[in-house]
Structure 1
Amino acid sequence: MTQTHDERTERATRSDPGTAATAAVTVDEPARPNRVRRSSDAFRFAASLLGLAAVILLVSFAQQTTRGIQTDITEGTAHAPHALLALATLASSFGVLAVPVAFAVERLLHRDGQRVAVALLAATIAFALTVLLDGWEIPAAPGGVLDSLIWGGTGTAPLHTDITPVIAFVTAVGMAGRTRWQTAAWLMIGLAALTGLTAAYASVAALTATYFLGRAIGHGTLYAVGAPNTRPPGAAVLGALERLGLRPARAERVPAPADEPRCYLVGVARDPDGSPADASPADATGPALPCGEWQLRVHVLDRDLQTAGLPYRLWRLARLRSGAPRRALRSLRRSLEQESLMSYAVTASGVRTPRLVATAEVGTEAALLAYAHVPGRRLDDVPDEELTDALLTDVWRQFRRLQAARLAHRRLEGDAILVDDEGRPHLVELGAGEIAAGDLLLRLDLAQLLTTLALRVGPERAVRTASGVLGEKALASAVPLLQRVALSRGTRSAVRHDKELLTRIREQILRLEPESEAPPIRLERFRPRTIFSIVALTAAAYIVVPQLGSVDLPHLLATANWWWALVGLAAAAATYPAAAWMVMGFVPERLSLWRTVLVQLAASFVKLVAPAAVTGVALNTRYLQRSGVRPGPAVASVGASQLAGMVIHILLLIMFGFLTGSAANATRDLAPSRTVVIALLALAVVASVALAVPRVRRLVAGRLRDMFSGVVPRLVDVLQSPGKMLTGFGGTILLTVGFVVCLDASIRAFGGELPWTAVAVVFLTANAVGSAAPTPGGLGAVEASLALALTISGLPAETAASAVLLFRLLTFWLPVLPGWGAFTYLQRKKAI
């Protein structure tokens, strides 16, 4: 049921007596939801699950270590005074339940039953789950596998049924800000865990897993059901102001995004002398209003919003070299202190900014900062015609004072500059700022403000007005930092629409200071492609280990003819120059053969995380652009090589399929040529059905139009040059020949033999399937189609499987490590 404003005010007054004096003041704000889903609960739920998984993995790989720890603890507690252990056991047995019950009663007396109900739900789920795991799941594992591998011994309980519900209850009920209750609850849980260790019915691993499981259930329940809305209403905020000696006369809520701090405009009664009534900070400057009020702009920091944007802050903290230690997650108290300190420092430096009048905590779930209200508009809302050179120069003057005091704002976007009704700029949004900032942070601020103003007035005006205040040398220090990674998220998004903006800013600065050109400073701790490389290697290990584990390697090594394997290796190595010639033949510009070969080798590493056709096109296009080919011709050249390869592939498939069928016309077995026909018919049916859908038909038509608009003219250029034509089409044919020879050598290495035409059809068919498959490098699809086609062609199943494994080892897995080396080398040389 939705509460009326009066009901909400009355409830807030009961929960906070300080609001009684301001209960008559109307707070114009939207209705508060009874429950909210907090992002912090989702983050903590995920972190608890990761902790649980880490415990399971750690104990699985370190069984002896965990058992040793358990033994050491048991031996150590054996020497402890028995009376002390008995006292701890007695206290924990009583207190582990008594403390949560007492806190629940205390919350019920404060009419906070919803919080208790959610916590009871979490405790119930935790109890049911632990009983289920202890009584059914783990004993059902064959030989007590989970019990012995995860928990460290069959004599211990896998999960501590007594304290898991208590941990879930304490987590869900929310004791943040109530230090005594928190201390008492976790002390009792710790004593109960110690009791379990000394009695040898719970291991260290089991207790650690119990903790993470209880926390996961508590936070998961809170996020699923929604936590009670603990944000104090406007009446409580006004009550906090009243206790500070600021008597509110009226208040209204300022609209703001859901993940931003709440903001109120509060009119404070003024005495006849013009000062706020009964206010100690009576000398604060605020505009005198006709109604005899002094207006405040009150920012409210809610505890549950402290984790808003946490993933992005963690990413920036890990990736950007800012030169200053920062916390991605700050407590409510630290956030209040951080912004207060920054505001006082900015005011003391002489920078024009709204004065901070008062700060206070609002209960245990929020805090407020009251600023003298300055009527005006944010820079983003100021029309272009009002952005005069005088205003921009004044902005740079305020910035110069900020820099002189070594204060870093860290977020100088358009909404961080307030232009008052007299046209004067004020710096606001100081919550992310830093005092005693280093040179790098100050230069980052300069680069950010240059970009912010250049987005509004253009690089020429932004640089010209800045140079008149800061000087050419100061601007030159920002040149190496004009990188997208150095900018705020909103500014980076805006720069994407004008990709040459940063270059134009640099050019304007270099015109003033020609000798200041310097290479960009390395601001990234790591690049996204580094993560890409790690993920690729991890995926490769995850995929290849099970495949190798299912093969009888001793038998494979004993029966193989490794001379044929060496032939296959040589043929596989020959495919990389062939692929390089294939690309070079369709590019009129001159390319280095060695570097082009390295690009093809690097593609063998990149295709671990994407389909082979996609990675080849993307990497070659990038390489051509880095080699000086314009983007349009680069895409057209790669497209022309792919189109030529597809046409030759189809022609070879038809030709070899016909030859294979003619040589085997007397046999009753299913020949590969018939398989090709069936596959082509199936593809035709699928294509017909897909093209019957208008949206698909329009998409295909658009893609074909784009391809022929650029690719066909490129093919015509190649056909006019005999040398290029020979290189391109010759490389395409040699590429296929190399793979066919490799597959044939892999078959012969295990004593098999097929007509070379049949081998060609098998490879061409499997390669088509692999190119169409959405898996990285056609994994799974290529192996299955090769094994099936070789078996149909007459090879024994064991020989076919061994030949496929060797072929994929030579053409897919062995090139991974050299491919990674080539990929890293080309990155270092900025060739891709």
Structure 2
Amino acid sequence: MVSFTPQSNDKQSEKVSLKSTLITRRLRVWFLSLLFFAGLVLFVTHFSELEHFAQLLRQAMPLWLIVGFLLQSATYFSAAAVWHQTLRYAGVRYSLLSLVPLGVAKLFSDQALPSGGMSGTVFLVASLNRRGISRPLCMAILLVSLVAYYLAYLLAALASIALLWFYHDLHVWIVAVTAMFCIVAVGIPAGALWLRRRKKQSFSGFLMRIPGLAVLLNALGDAPGYLLQSPELFIKTTLLQGTIFLLDAYTLNVMLYAIGQDASFLVVFPSFVIASMVATLGPVPLGLGTFEATCVAMLTMLGITLEAAFTATLLLRGFTLWLPMFPGLWLAKRELR
């Protein structure tokens, strides 16, 4: 007797693969359209802030502004290096320089579609997959970078608390914010790893009918486990993520220099990290307002004049938020077209 089961399975597998490809392409088109619309809304609604930033640039010392620009450029190389390290450990050779534009475009995605970093994550996975990297490996890169990011963030938070405890003044509200953030910093990567270990069949049928979710869960489950069990990889990627925090904080330090205000990095670093935690925990998209208010309050509390703290914080936001927006828009379009 001749069995036709293998052919039937092959046809079924081809149909599933084709359906997965069509869903991915459809989601990519919708995501790109939503990304451009959100970017336009963000630009229009905050155009006055952009004008204010341009005015502050004209008043600051040019040399320090150049240093700030170089520091921010280095953050994109550090972000790309996180993904590059994971690819290298997976045996995939990929140019570090070719990944740097993804860092800029991912930042734009996070800014244009505020979603706790998920929009940038969707963009990153779609872009890497489009470059020929398998979806399971894309998800492994996502998980490694996610865990490394929150681990570095957690270490930065604890270091800030230690600096405030030994050298400055530690208030109850700062301890409360840090405690809440620690829960988030542990919960998010733990939840992602839990999703990877949970089988697709254990989710309800309603959830599995959401377009693209079945593909996502399958890819999470298929992510190479050996990458998630490499202490050396996590140490390197955590150090790279931590470098980004240091570069951002030092950019704030440089912005103070640009307006003629001397400040110790031991003052600036905890101010930046505490403000970042408040922005992360707050309900306001991008932390607009909450980051600025907290950063100014922290700097003022630690001895920086109010005017200098306010001006330097706005300059920092210009370098981290507004300047990357236009190249990020163009790069996002290029990556997802």
TM-score range, shorter chain: 0.7 to 0.9
**Which stretch shows the higher mean deviation, 537-546 or 640-649?**
537-546
- Equivalent of residue 194 in structure 2, options 705, 730, 755: 705
**1:794 alignment partner AA:** G
- Equivalent of residue 162 in structure 2, options 658, 669, 690: 658
Q: How far apart are residue 552 of structure 1 and its match?
A: 9.1
**1:747 alignment partner AA:** L
**2:302 alignment partner AA:** S
* Structure-2 separation of matches of 1:751 and 1:804: 14
**2:64 alignment partner AA:** W
Give yes or no for contact 2:68–2:251 (8 Å, CA) kept in 1. yes
* Structure-1 separation of matches of 2:242 and 2:190: 29
Counterparts of residues 424-823 of structure 1 (less than 5 Å): 499-500=16-17, 527-529=29-31, 531-548=33-50, 551=52, 556=56, 559-587=59-87, 588=90, 589-607=92-110, 608-611=112-115, 613-664=117-168, 671=169, 676-681=174-179, 705-706=194-195, 713-719=225-231, 724=233, 727-823=236-332
**Which stretch shows the higher mean deviation, 708-717 or 767-776?**
708-717
Give yes or no for contact 2:109–2:119 (8 Å, CA) kept in 1. yes
Q: How far apart are residue 718 of structure 1 and its match?
A: 3.4
* Structure-2 separation of matches of 1:768 and 1:577: 23
Q: How far apart are residue 615 of structure 1 and its match?
A: 2.7
* Structure-2 separation of matches of 1:662 and 1:503: 55
Q: How far apart are residue 745 of structure 1 and its match?
A: 0.6
Give yes or no for contact 1:611–1:778 (8 Å, CA) kept in 2. no
Change (3 A) 1:591 1:777: farther
Structure 1 SS opposite 2:46: helix
Counterparts of residues 74-473 of structure 1 (less than 5 Å): none
**2:45 alignment partner AA:** I
* Structure-2 separation of matches of 1:759 and 1:647: 21
* Structure-2 separation of matches of 1:503 and 1:746: 47
Change (3 A) 1:548 1:628: closer
Q: How far apart are residue 632 of structure 1 and its match?
A: 3.3
Give yes or no for contact 1:565–1:749 (8 Å, CA) kept in 2. yes
Change (3 A) 1:677 1:533: closer
**1:579 alignment partner AA:** A
Q: How far apart are residue 786 of structure 1 and its match?
A: 1.9
Give yes or no for contact 1:575–1:738 (8 Å, CA) kept in 2. yes
Higher helix fraction (1 or 2): 2
Change (3 A) 1:783 1:659: closer
What 5-or-longer segments of structure 1 have no aligned partner? 1-456, 461-497, 505-523, 665-670, 689-696
* Structure-2 separation of matches of 1:458 and 1:715: 31
Q: How far apart are residue 735 of structure 1 and its match?
A: 1.3
Q: How far apart are residue 661 of structure 1 and its match?
A: 2.7
**1:676 alignment partner AA:** I
Give the count of matched residue pairs: 293
Give yes or no for contact 1:571–1:739 (8 Å, CA) kept in 2. yes
* Structure-2 separation of matches of 1:658 and 1:502: 52
Q: How far apart are residue 818 of structure 1 and its match?
A: 0.9
Q: How far apart are residue 567 of structure 1 and its match?
A: 1.1
Q: How far apart are residue 802 of structure 1 and its match?
A: 0.9
Change (3 A) 1:609 1:700: closer
Structure 1 SS opposite 2:86: coil
**1:578 alignment partner AA:** S
| Bigger radius of gyration | 1
Q: How far apart are residue 809 of structure 1 and its match?
A: 0.6
Give TM-score, length-normalised by structure 1. 0.32
* Structure-2 separation of matches of 1:501 and 1:576: 35
Change (3 A) 1:776 1:804: same
Give TM-score, length-normalised by structure 2. 0.72
Q: Show the counterpart of 1:6.
A: none
Q: How far apart are residue 715 of structure 1 and its match?
A: 4.9
Structure 1 SS opposite 2:318: helix
Give yes or no for contact 1:603–1:819 (8 Å, CA) kept in 2. yes
Deviations 1:561-589 (A, max 9, x none): 23222211110111000001122223323
Structure 2 SS opposite 1:583: helix
* Structure-2 separation of matches of 1:700 and 1:561: 41
Structure 2 SS opposite 1:794: coil
* Structure-2 separation of matches of 1:740 and 1:700: 24
Change (3 A) 1:731 1:706: same
Structure 2 SS opposite 1:585: helix
Deviations 1:94-145 (A, max 9, x none): xxxxxxxxxxxxxxxxxxxxxxxxxxxxxxxxxxxxxxxxxxxxxxxxxxxx
Give yes or no for contact 2:151–2:238 (8 Å, CA) kept in 1. no
Change (3 A) 1:591 1:799: same
User: Alpha carbon RMSD of aligned pairs, Å?
Assistant: 3.7
Change (3 A) 1:623 1:790: same
Higher strand fraction (1 or 2): 1
Structure 2 SS opposite 1:754: coil
Q: How far apart are residue 613 of structure 1 and its match?
A: 1.9
Structure 1 SS opposite 2:259: coil
Give yes or no for contact 1:586–1:718 (8 Å, CA) kept in 2. no
Structure 1 SS opposite 2:81: helix
* Structure-1 separation of matches of 2:118 and 2:280: 9
* Structure-2 separation of matches of 1:757 and 1:538: 38
Structure 2 SS opposite 1:586: helix
Change (3 A) 1:642 1:673: farther
Q: Show the counterpart of 1:30.
A: none
Q: How far apart are residue 798 of structure 1 and its match?
A: 1.8
Q: How far apart are residue 635 of structure 1 and its match?
A: 1.8
Give yes or no for contact 2:71–2:248 (8 Å, CA) kept in 1. yes
Structure 1 SS opposite 2:230: helix
**1:680 alignment partner AA:** T
* Structure-2 separation of matches of 1:586 and 1:458: 34
* Structure-1 separation of matches of 2:190 and 2:151: 19
* Structure-2 separation of matches of 1:662 and 1:648: 21
Change (3 A) 1:700 1:574: closer
Give yes or no for contact 1:740–1:760 (8 Å, CA) kept in 2. yes
Change (3 A) 1:603 1:660: same
Q: How far apart are residue 619 of structure 1 and its match?
A: 2.1
